[in-house]
């Protein structure tokens, strides 16, 4: 797998699954780093852009993502590369942007590879509007259930629901979703809540929300893997 540094796709449109629904594909162009979200605010994961990194913008939003970051996952410092990004838009309201990162040097050639590989990988959401905890919890639950009907992951979904419903998300809030190899899922809403779900298979279920067979929209899926080839 080679991760290019020139092409990024953004996604907009009307959703079909709560806040996480389908969208339309829109091209975007590289943008200056000045307005980039601060990845170093990653809830203790020490997510930060590497030196002299390129930034890319997401069309339809002010968010810009670094093409490379360095994150501390467990006791390991890892360099990750951007695989793509998208904008989630509901009707005329921008809900959030999302970027996908994967550990450098790992062979990834497709959405299936990215969803299924138990390597260090992260999804970075930057909220573009205010969203209640209930809305976010319901959206993720409904999306997960598209691929994994009950009773699959009942305990894990209940834990996720409980944590998300306990807080609201405001414009500018950042959410880091991290796959910890061999362990499971770590979700950090920066400055608000952190939840660890030690079920490796549930981590794949979370990536399948965006990249699985019954994902939240093929254009979103395409955007998040647009830098893989």
pLDDT per residue, tens digit, the chain (229 aa), is 444 333 333 333 323 333 444 332 333 333 333 344 554 444 344 576 666 789 988 888 899 999 999 999 988 899 999 999 999 877 788 899 999 999 999 999 999 999 999 999 999 999 999 999 999 999 999 999 999 999 999 999 999 999 999 999 999 999 999 999 999 999 999 999 999 999 999 999 999 999 999 998 888 899 999 999 7
pLDDT of residue 51: 67
pLDDT of residue 58: 86
pLDDT of residue 218: 85
pLDDT of residue 88: 86
**Contact by Cβ (8 Å): 228, 109:** yes
Mind giving me the DSSP string for 91-153?
A: TTEEEEEEEEEEETT----SHHHHHH--S-EEEEEEESS-B-HHHHHHHHHHHHHHHS-TTTT
Other residues' Cβ atoms within 10 Å of the Cβ of residue 221 = 23
**Contact by Cβ (8 Å): 68, 51:** no
- pTM score, whole prediction: 0.80
Mind giving me the DSSP string for 21-78?
A: ---EEEE--B--GGG---GGGSTTS--EEPTT--EEE-TTSS-EEESEEEEEETTEEE
Q: Give CA separation, 23 vs 88, 108, 147, in Å.
A: 7, 24, 19
Domain segments of the chain as ranges: 9-224
Q: Which CATH class is domain 9-224?
A: alpha beta
pLDDT of residue 53: 80
């Amino acid at each position: 797998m080679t991760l290019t540094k020139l092409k990024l796709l953004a996604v907009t449109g009307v959703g079909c699954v709560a806040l996480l629904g389908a969208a339309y594909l829109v091209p975007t162009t590289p943008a200056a780093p000045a307005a980039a979200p601060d990845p170093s605010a990653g809830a203790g994961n020490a997510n930060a852009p590497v030196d002299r990194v390129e930034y890319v913008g997401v069309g339809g939003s002010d968010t810009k993502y670094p093409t490379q970051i360095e994150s501390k996952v467990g006791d390991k410092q890892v360099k990750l590369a951007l695989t793509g990004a998208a904008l989630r838009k509901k009707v005329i309201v921008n809900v959030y942007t999302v970027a996908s990162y994967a550990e450098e040097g790992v062979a990834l050639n497709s959405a299936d590879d990215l969803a299924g590989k138990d390597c260090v990988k992260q999804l970075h959401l930057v909220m573009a509007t205010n969203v209640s905890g209930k809305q976010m919890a319901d959206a993720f639950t409904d999306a997960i259930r598209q691929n994994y009907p009950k009773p699959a992951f009942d305990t894990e979904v209940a834990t996720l629901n409980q944590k998300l419903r306990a807080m609201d998300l405001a414009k500018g809030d950042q959410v880091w979703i991290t796959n910890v190899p061999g362990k499971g899922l770590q979700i950090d809403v920066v400055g608000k809540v952190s939840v660890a779900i030690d079920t490796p298979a549930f981590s794949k279920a979370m990536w399948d929300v965006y990249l699985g067979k019954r994902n939240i929209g093929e254009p979103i899926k395409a955007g998040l893997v647009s830098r893989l080839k």
